[in-house]
């Protein structure tokens, strides 16, 4: 990874697939959504690391750093998003890894989305969002070199 | 495989119908135009064809000869949020509005066996349900509600034994006898490993606790439904209807096996096992699922387990409309979805029903949306006429064919689970989890490719921009208040008594032949917190982590 960066990401270098850590933060175990998203993103060519359930913000950030991920996707259905999503952003800041993009999914009311974006969460996908909208958003954010 | 009935059988049904208690609400059992409705319809020449009757084995047409003419289903709205005091207010509101049973929703820390002041409880307190840390909170939750007179369902699994003991202790303080108590404990740990994933201990000690509670209640709390074997969460996690049916009944058989292994007698505990299913949007498929469930359970209990008591053979179930079918887009449409789903549960012969509020896809229900959901059930019961005749769809070519197919698909799954060596080895191999995840992914792809339409989601979206709906918010100060409350309980209790109770429980947990219920009850009475009680058992049993499979 660092070699590629040092070489200045030459044009002929094959583009590395975007690597995404998907995590269930908080106490709820509803993993239907995150698993469907994981499969869809994998099929769309992203590299997916799924952490499993009940991850703390520290664990998620640690996983993202270990895996050299560019993106963290958070899933949560318990209503604790206003505490835990910003805590992940904060932990990234603390670990000087603010370049990692954080997005989330779950039952998040509109007002909360506005506030979460202010606090540094890049995007929130709510119930009924097509998988393609998540894929498109990521491709737009990380255009193939 | 159906049974034929002769004229004598019909006479027997008639005798049972006459003998059954009837509803006393005075509501006419005629159509809105005034036509008389028979309590039961059969084919024109019953002696010629194979046919079943309600109240008779294998109960495809219902477990009661009189159906809803005898007694309506219980309208049991699942509720709980914020603190015990707030939820107590909602319970009183629902009871005043004609609800006939209580159903407690606990918050995530309570479901996961931890106290409100645990670090990982932050942000979770009171959001998904009510926060209960100790007997003190439970007393507040049921303040002014006589537990000897209501029936209460509690949706709790890993810490089920602890919450049941809290309930028993509140009843004790109210002066009610344990023998009088009516209610249901979800206590279904197997579906947690399969679908909802709120597990704490590994499968073996988890099963021990379930059997402990069944054994204890069989003696001490005989009217309590000890396990509500749940398909709801399996379905919500993305399974098909047949998978929901198959995995749930397979779990039921696993509990029966575990109790028999403990040395309990089938007819001493089987009548107190209940079921809980999802009512999804595919109307006829759901009705067939409910009918097939009764038939499968009756056959297995009689033929495989040798149950003799008729009550062991009769599958009783609660139904909740499908949360997963609700849409965040044009949420008012969810009232119509819920009505369709609720109707399938009624036509499938449910014993109790929760109808979802339209806003549950966005947050917790408000007083108004909770009332509309309850009113939907009341419309079905009292306006629509569907409760006038038993199993009105019995004999429908379509419904009977679907029912047979559901049964066959479930039996095929039982064989596949048996090939793993039973439910627990199949869980450990990830079999059911994979089947469910595959089905969920298939469904999502069908939506993306528009092979399946959902109004407001991938079609008929005009109006989505008007989504403005009031949602219930939990004020952040309630979280801090709850944290202070549990600390206060720990400060003011008899410390020596509490410490001794936890030590005794830990010791008993290490001895596999002990039933843990009396020890847990002692700890609860000593105001040990849920986290302390569960912690003592974690010390002995350890924690379970699953291997995450995508």
Give me the DSSP letters along B472-530: B---HHHHHHHHHHHHHHHHHS-HHHHHHHHHHHHHHHTSTTS-SHHHHHHHHHTT--H
Q: How confident is the model at residue A128 (pLDDT cuts 50, 70, 90)?
A: confident
pLDDT tens per residue, range B96-113: 888 778 999 999 999 999
Please answer yes or no on whether B197 and A30 come within 8 Å at the CB atom.
yes
- Taking the C-alpha atoms of residue B542 and residue B536, their distance in angstroms, rounded to an integer, is 10
The answer to whether residue A28 is domain-embedded is yes
pLDDT surpassing 70 at residue B218: yes
The answer to whether residue A81 is domain-embedded is yes
The answer to whether residue A3 is domain-embedded is no
Angle ∠(B144,B104,B260) on CA atoms, nearest 5: 115
Number of domains comprising chain A: 1
pLDDT at residue A126, as a whole number: 92
- On whether any CB of chain B is under 8 Å from the CB of A113, the answer is no
pLDDT surpassing 70 at residue B308: yes
CATH number of the domain enclosing A65: 3.40.50.280
Mean pLDDT of B166-174: 98
The answer to whether residue A1 is domain-embedded is no
Mean pLDDT of B461-486: 86
- Taking the C-alpha atoms of residue A49 and residue B390, their distance in angstroms, rounded to an integer, is 52
Q: How confident is the model at residue B44 (pLDDT cuts 50, 70, 90)?
A: low
Mean pLDDT of B40-52: 69
Q: Are B319 and B348 in contact (CB under 8 A)?
A: yes
The answer to whether residue A7 is domain-embedded is no
pLDDT surpassing 90 at residue B419: yes
pLDDT tens per residue, range B492-511: 999 999 999 999 999 999 99
Q: Which residues contact B326 (CB under 8 A, 6 or more apart)?
A: B334, B337, B338, B356, B358, B360, B361
The answer to whether residue A12 is domain-embedded is no
pLDDT surpassing 50 at residue B257: yes
- Which residues of chain B make contact with A107, given a CB cutoff of 8 A? 328, 361-363
The answer to whether residue A9 is domain-embedded is no
Q: Given the structure tokens 């001493």, which residue do they identify?
A: B268
Q: How confident is the model at residue B366 (pLDDT cuts 50, 70, 90)?
A: confident
Q: How confident is the model at residue A2 (pLDDT cuts 50, 70, 90)?
A: very low
Least-confidence region, from A52-56, A113-117, B3-7, B392-396: B3-7
pLDDT surpassing 90 at residue B469: no
pLDDT mean across residues, chain B: 94
Of B485, B228, B185, the C-alpha closest to B350 is B228
pLDDT tens per residue, range B370-418: 999 999 999 999 999 999 999 999 999 999 999 999 999 999 999 999 9
Q: Which domain holds residue A37?
A: 17-132
- On whether any CB of chain A is under 8 Å from the CB of B237, the answer is yes
pLDDT surpassing 80 at residue B307: yes
What percent of chain B clears pLDDT 70, i.e. is strictly above it? 97
Q: How confident is the model at residue A7 (pLDDT cuts 50, 70, 90)?
A: very low
The answer to whether residue A5 is domain-embedded is no
pLDDT surpassing 80 at residue B5: no
- Phi then psi dihedrals of residue A76, to 5 deg: -160, 135
Q: Which residues contact B50 (CB under 8 A, 6 or more apart)?
A: B2, B3, B4
Q: Are B73 and B316 in contact (CB under 8 A)?
A: no
Interface confidence (ipTM) of the complex: 0.90
Pick from A36, A44, A84 the residue to mutate for testing the B interface (most B CBs within 10 Å): A36
- Which residues of chain A make contact with B329, given a CB cutoff of 8 A? 128
Of A40, A50, A79, the CB nearest to B128: A79
Residue B27 class from Cβ within 10 Å (0-12 exposed, 13-18 middle, 19+ buried)? middle
pLDDT at residue B6, as a whole number: 55
For residue B24, how many C-alpha atoms fall within 13 Å in the half-sphere facing its CB? 2
User: Please, what are the domains in chain B?
Assistant: 7-48 (no CATH), 75-461 (3.20.20.240)
Least-confidence region, from B141-150, B310-319, B409-418: B141-150
The Cα of B398 is separated from the nearest Cα of chain A by a number of Å equal to 31
pLDDT tens per residue, range B224-243: 999 999 999 999 999 999 99
Range B399-427 burial, b when 16+ CB lie within 10 A, else e: bbebbbebbebbeebbeebeeeeebbebb
Of B110, B167, B112, B111, the C-alpha closest to B486 is B110
pLDDT surpassing 70 at residue B45: no
């Amino acid at each position: 990874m660092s070699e590629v960066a040092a070489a200045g990401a030459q044009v002929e270098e094959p583009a590395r697939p975007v690597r995404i850590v998907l995590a269930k933060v908080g106490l709820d175990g509803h993993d239907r959504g995150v698993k469907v998203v994981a499969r869809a993103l994998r099929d769309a060519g992203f590299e997916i690391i799924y952490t499993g359930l009940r991850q703390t913000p520290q664990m998620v950030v640690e996983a993202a750093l270990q895996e050299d991920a560019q993106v963290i996707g958070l899933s949560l259905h318990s209503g604790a998003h206003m505490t835990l999503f910003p805590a992940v952003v904060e932990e990234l800041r603390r670990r000087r890894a603010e370049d990692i993009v954080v997005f989330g999914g779950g039952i998040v009311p509109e007002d909360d989305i506005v506030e979460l974006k202010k606090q540094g969460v890049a995007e929130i996908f709510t119930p009924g969002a097509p998988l393609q909208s998540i894929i498109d958003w990521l491709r737009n954010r990380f255009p193939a070199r | 495989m159906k049974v034929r009935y002769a004229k004598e059988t019909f006479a027997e049904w008639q005798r049972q119908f006459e003998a059954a208690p009837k509803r006393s609400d005075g509501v006419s059992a005629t159509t809105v135009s005034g036509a008389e409705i028979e309590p039961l319809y059969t084919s024109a020449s019953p002696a010629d064809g194979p046919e079943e009757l309600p109240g008779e084995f294998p109960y495809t047409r219902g477990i009661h000869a009189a159906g809803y003419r005898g007694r309506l289903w219980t309208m049991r709205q699942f509720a709980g949020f914020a603190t015990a005091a707030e939820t107590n207010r909602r319970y009183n509101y629902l009871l005043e509005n004609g609800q006939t049973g209580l159903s407690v929703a606990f918050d995530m820390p309570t479901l996961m066996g931890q106290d409100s002041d645990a670090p990982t409880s932050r942000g979770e307190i009171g959001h998904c349900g009510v926060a209960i840390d100790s007997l003190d909170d439970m007393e507040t939750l049921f303040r002014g509600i006589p537990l000897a007179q209501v029936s209460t369902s509690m949706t709790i699994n890993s810490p089920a034994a602890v919450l049941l003991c809290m309930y028993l202790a509140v009843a004790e303080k109210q002066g009610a006898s344990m023998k009088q108590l009516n209610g249901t404990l979800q206590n279904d740990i197997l579906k947690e490993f399969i679908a909802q994933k709120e597990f704490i201990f590994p499968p073996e000690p988890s099963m021990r606790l379930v059997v402990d509670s069944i054994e204890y209640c069989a003696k001490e709390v005989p009217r309590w439904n000890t396990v509500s074997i749940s398909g709801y969460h399996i379905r919500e996690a993305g399974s098909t209807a047949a998978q929901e049916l198959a995995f749930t009944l397979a779990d039921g058989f696993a509990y029966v096996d575990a109790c028999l292994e403990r040395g309990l007698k089938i007819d001493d505990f089987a009548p107190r096992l209940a079921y809980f299913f999802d009512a999804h949007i595919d109307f006829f498929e759901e009705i067939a699922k409910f009918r097939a469930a009764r038939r499968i359970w009756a056959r297995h209990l009689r033929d495989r387990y040798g149950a003799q008591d008729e009550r062991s053979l009769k599958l009783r179930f609660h139904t909740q409309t499908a949360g997963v079918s609700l849409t965040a887009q044009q949420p008012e449409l969810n009232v119509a979805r819920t009505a369709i789903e609720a109707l399938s549960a009624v036509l499938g012969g449910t014993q109790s029903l929760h109808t979802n509020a339209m806003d549950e896809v966005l947050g917790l229900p408000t007083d108004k949306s909770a009332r509309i959901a309850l009113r939907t059930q009341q419309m079905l019961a009292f306006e629509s006429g569907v409760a006038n005749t038993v199993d009105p769809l019995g004999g429908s070519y379509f419904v009977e064919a679907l029912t047979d197919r559901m049964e066959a698909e479930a039996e095929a799954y039982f064989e596949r689970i048996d090939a793993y060596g039973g439910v627990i080895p199949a869980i450990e191999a990830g079999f059911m989890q994979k089947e469910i995840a595959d089905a969920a992914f298939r469904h999502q792809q069908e939506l993306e490719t528009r092979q399946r339409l959902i109004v407001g989601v991938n079609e008929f979206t005009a109006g989505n921009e008007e989504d403005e709906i009031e949602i219930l918010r939990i004020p952040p100060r309630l979280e801090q208040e709850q944290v202070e409350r549990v600390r206060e309980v720990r400060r003011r209790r008899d410390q020596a008594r509490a410490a001794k109770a936890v030590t005794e429980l830990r010791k008993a947990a290490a001895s596999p032949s002990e039933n843990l219920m009396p020890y847990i009850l002692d700890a609860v009475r000593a105001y040990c917190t849920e986290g302390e009680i569960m912690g003592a058992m974690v010390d002995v049993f350890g924690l379970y982590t699953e291997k995450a499979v995508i």
